[in-house]
Each structure stands twice: as C-alpha cells, then as structure tokens.
Amino acid sequence: MTETFRLADQIRRAFEGNAWHGDSIVELLSGVNAATAAARPIKSAHSIWEILLHIAAWDDDVVRRIGGTVVEVTDEQNFPTIKDTSEAAWTQAIESTKKIHNELIKAVASFPDSRLTEQVPGKSEKHYNFYYLLSGIVQHELYHAGQIALLKKAAV
C-alpha cells in the first residue's frame, strides 16, 4: 500500500466516515436542513453552510495544486456569502462539495509517493511539500468537522 493511498484514505474517512475520531463531515451533515445550515447560533462564527463551501474551496485548491497549478483562494471563495438559502441550494452545495471531495480522493490516491517531498507550486516555505499539503488537508477536514458538530448542537 502506498503512502498516498493511505493519505487518500484518511482524507476520505474525515469527510465520508468510518473515522477513528468520531463523526465525519457527511455524518454530521445528516439531518441538517437549509435553515440550520445557514443559521448563526454563534454570532461571530461562520455558518455550517459557509464552512462546507470553505471545505470545498480548499479541497479544490489541493486538487489544482496536485495538477501543478499555482492557486490562491480568494476571500470570496474562502468563506462565500450564501445568497440562496433554499433547500435546493443546500442540497446542491452538499452534492457539489462531495463531487470536489471525490476528485480530491482520486487525485491523492494516484499521486506518486516519489513526489511527496516536492515543493508545492506557488509555496515558498521550505517545508511546504506535497506531504505537508496532503496531511494538512486531513487536519483541515477534521478541524471543520469539529466546528460543524458544535454549530449543529448550538442550533438545536
């Protein structure tokens, strides 16, 4: 089994389930409707919906960097403003994020181990290689899963 296969598996588990720590992002989103997703039960925090789109933006960033593109996530991409808070828009946001996440899993699983120590395009920090990026996206998913869990509890 390759290291990138293991990394892809950890990314998948954090997002889809069967993670060691507890509920994944998809499991946490179960039963969350559009009103709850758009709510701000903690005034200074982002909504569940904004966090989900933030996850999608960074998953896409990693996919593009794996492909050799230098990318910078804009402020609007980082935490987009939610303009349509309908159930259909919420369902679309979830499905779109799942699609991007699946692209990420495929890209990581097929990434050669031999390239893990290569510098990530557009990053000048010496430590910012592909291993750092790919293990970091696992941490990113889990960090935001915790936020979603707290927001979901606060919205009840």
Closest CA to 47 of 59, 58, 55, 36: 36
Residue 32 has pLDDT above 90, yes or no: yes
Query: Which pLDDT tens digit goes with each residue over 42-55?
Result: 989 999 999 999 99
Q: Does this model's pTM top 0.85? A: yes
> What does the alpha-carbon distance between residue 98 and residue 104 come to, in Å, rounded to a whole number?
10
Residue 156 has pLDDT above 80, yes or no: no
How much is the mean pLDDT over the chain? 95
**Segment 85-88 long-range contacts (CB within 8 Å, at least 24 positions apart):** 85/34, 85/35, 85/37, 85/38, 85/49, 86/34, 87/33, 87/34
* Domains within the chain, CATH numbers bracketed: 3-155 (1.20.120.450)
Rounded mean pLDDT of 13-38?
94
Taking every pair of C-alpha atoms in the chain, what is the biggest distance, in angstroms? Answer: 47
Query: Which pLDDT tens digit goes with each residue over 100-134?
Result: 999 999 999 999 999 999 999 988 898 999 999 99
